[in-house]
Each structure stands twice: as structure tokens, then as C-alpha cells.
Amino acid sequence: MKIDLSDVVLIVRLFLDILAVWGLIYMALRLFRNNYRTIQILKGILILLFVKGLSMALGLQAFGQVINTFLQWGVLAIIILFQPEIRGMLEKLGKSSISSLNMDITREETILMIDELVTACQQMSASKTGALITIQQTQQLTDYVNTGIRMDSVVSSELLGTIFQYGTPMHDGAVIIQGNKIACAAAYFPPTTRDLPSKYGARHRAAVGISEITDSITIVVSEETGTISLAVNGQLTKYPVEGLRRFLMNVLVPKDDLDSSNVIMRTAKQLGFSRNRDESPKKTKTDERIQPLQIVDLYNIGQEGGKHGKAR
């Protein structure tokens, strides 16, 4: 059997065609899997198709004509019903691939900002003061900054505590941090379309919503329990204070900078030196302040929460 170049091109074209179709199916399955409301809409569409087939089998012409009218406008109806999900996917596809922003801040300024931020979260957690703080990363948040009150102030625990103090004009909204400065306060974020349990309020919904469409890091302090949570990539994770600081240091401070202080010690170990060669190995003590993280599965919890009531 002789295979020429045209046959090879045809096979490659068919393979790419099948791969593209499977890619679309995979994206659709991810869309349905991550959104409880979308699953319900899909079930409704499948029920309509089943009813149409049943009407054709029973010869119900009038009823079948009514169903056909609905299905003829099905494409437009799907675009309208799935508008938030389609918009979210397009926003994810359009994310900036720039590795870093033009923020001329030093390592010391970044660490100082983290310390002030963690101190503020610790104080607000102790006093059960609700807070919503977003740290910009590679994707610009200018559109969301424009929805709030511009500030351009250096991050400080006192300022953050004042902003989120209940009763102040700017407490009901989000603070956006760009570099080591507070770009704005009282910003508005689109809430997530997921059905979260009732224990998660408007701040948590807004935090998950902004993390679904941007690569930002959002900190939420619950005003009911004082719990500190982080929303990243659509996932909500509870953190203790020490864990919050470690996470921010690992993400915001370059690893080369973190490791530079240990260069001499690592070099000495590689050369075989130690402080005391006769010293017997000691057991490593566990820091009691370090607690395991609790990761919240929003999808499964959302299904359970949807049965008990909508989130506030």
C-alpha cells in the first residue's frame, strides 16, 4: 500500500480536527462541573430535548411545534443564559502573560508591606472586623480600581484598620494594593456565580469572583467568625496568621532574594563545615503556631449549600 503526501496531510488534518473537538468538549465539561447553576440549566435543556422526542413518538404535533419554537431560538437562549460563564472563560483566555508588572519596589519594601498587611489582618481578625483586600499580580486591575475611591497611599496596618472600621464610608468594599501602595478603597468586584453555603457572605463571594477572572490574591476577614481566608484561582482557603505571612512571602518575594541570606550557610555545608562536628543531631521542634491549611471545596459545598438556601 502506497501512502503519498496528500494522505499524510489528510490524516494530520483529521487528527487535529478530532483534537480540537475534544478540547471544546473538555472546556464545556469544566464549565459545567465548576458551576452548580450551569448544571441545572443543562438539565433543563436535556429535559426539553427529551420532551420533544416524546412528543414526536406520541404524535403530539401541536405540542411538538411549541417545543420546536423554543429550540429554534436555542442558540440565542444559551448565549443569554450562559453569559456570565462565557464572559468568565473569555476573560481567562485574555489574561496577560506578562511575568511581572513595572513596580519599582525593593525587597525590603515588599516585606514591610507584607508585615503591615498581616498585622492588620491579625488585628481585624481579633476584633472580628470584616475586610476584603486584593493584591494585584501580573494582570492589571485598573478597571476595578476605577470603581472605588482612589488613594495612592503606602500600606499600613493603621490605615487598613481605619478603612474597614464599621461605619466608615469606605468599609463596604475592597481595597486594591498595587505594589506597596493602596490604589483604592471601596472597590466593587463581580461576585461569583457559584452557589456558596450561607456561611459565606458578600465579601467571600466577591473574593472568589475576582479570583476566577484574574490572577490576584484576595484576603478576606470574616466579620462573624474572624477567620482569615485567601481566594486564589477560584479556590477559597483558610489560613492562620503565620500561614498567611508565609504564603505572601513565598508568592510576592522572589525566591532568589529569600535564599540569598542563606548562601554562606549552604556553601559551608557543601564544603563539610559545621558549627560543632561532635554535636549529635537534635530533634526538630514543631512550631505550635503553624497549623495545617483547610482547603474549601466550593463545588461540593456549593451543591450542599444550594439545598439549604442561597448565600447571603
Decide: pTM greater than 0.85. no
Q: Which of 155, 149, 145 is nearest to 120 (CA)?
A: 155
Q: What is the mean pLDDT of residues 250-256?
A: 80
Question: In this structure, are residues 229 and 238 in contact, taking their beta carbons and an 8 Å threshold?
Answer: yes
User: Which DSSP string do the residues of 154-183 spell out, in sequence order?
Assistant: E--HHHHHHHTSTTSTTSSSEEEEETTEEE
Helices (H), 128-240: 142-145, 157-163, 202-213
CA distances from 248 to 3, 78, 172, 244, 245 (A): 58, 40, 24, 6, 5
Query: Quick one: CA torsion of 10, 13, 18, 20, rounded to 10 degrees?
Result: -170
How far is the C-alpha of 216 from the C-alpha of 205, rounded, in Å? 15
Q: Is 129 helix (H, G, I), strand (E, B) or coil?
A: coil
The answer to whether 219 and 230 are in contact (CB under 8 A) is: yes
> What residues have CB less than 8 Å from 277, skipping those under 6 apart?
none
Closest CA to 249 of 114, 109, 103, 100: 114
Residue 187 bridge partners (DSSP): 174
- The number of C-alpha atoms within 13 Å of 42 and in the hemisphere containing its C-beta is 12
Average pLDDT, integer, range 33-60:
74
Look at residue 101 and tell me whether its pLDDT is greater than 80: no
How far lies 282's CA from each of 279, 285, in Å? 9, 9
Q: Which of 134-138, 144-148, 277-281 has the lowest mean pLDDT?
A: 277-281
> pLDDT confidence of 176, banded at 50, 70, 90?
very high
Among 93-97, 272-276, 296-300, the range scoring the smallest mean pLDDT is 272-276
Distance CA 276, CA 52 (A): 82
- Read off the pLDDT of residues 51-62 as tens digits, 9 standing for 90 and up: 888 888 888 888
How many CB atoms sit inside 10 A of residue 217's CB? 22
In this structure, what is the dihedral angle of CA atoms 205, 207, 210, 211, given to the nearest 10 degrees? Answer: -110
Neighbouring C-alpha atoms within 13 Å toward the C-beta of 95: 18
- The stretch 192-212 carries a mean pLDDT of 87
